Amino acid sequence: MTDQLYSKQADSTTYDKLFGSMPGEEIQVKSVKIASGQGKLSRGTVLGIVTATKKAVIVNSANTDGSQSADCILTDDIDATSADVTITAYSSGTFNRDALIFGGTDTADTHETRLREFGIFLNQVIPY
């Protein structure tokens, strides 16, 4: 019986380097509605919220509709080509600044202060 418990291999996961924290750190998520027409968005995309519609789009500091300010980080890949998509986004935690995706010419430096206000902290993961 003991051999049966230890002879099976658990499914494996691939570490995508999005998180910049130690295992066990508390991560919070919230529900967001992604506006249609943005195509496919990847996990780790930083989102801003359009003030008029309350829908999330890729953050871009050149925008003037509210989405110029970072709000959260997309938890999973999605396709918002032809319809709005409701999904979860990270609203707090520590993330790898080099794994985040921004709109326009924005970088982690552009939005780091704003993200920190929400409890989203950025660091650089050093490969080992």
pLDDT in tens, 82-121: 999 999 999 999 999 999 999 999 999 999 999 999 999 9
Which residue type, as a one-letter code, is found at position 22?
A: M
Q: How far apart (Å, rounded) are the C-alpha atoms in residues 89 and 46?
A: 9
Which residues is 31 bridged to in the sheet?
A: 88
Q: In order of start, what are the domains of the chain with their CATH numbers? A: 25-123 (2.40.300.10)
pLDDT digits (tens, 9 = 90+) for 4-58: 444 445 555 556 789 887 777 889 999 999 999 999 999 999 999 999 999 999 9
Q: Indicate the pTM of the whole model.
A: 0.86
Q: What 3-state class would DSSP assign to 56? A: strand
Contact (Cβ atoms closer than 8 angstroms) between residue 94 and residue 125: no
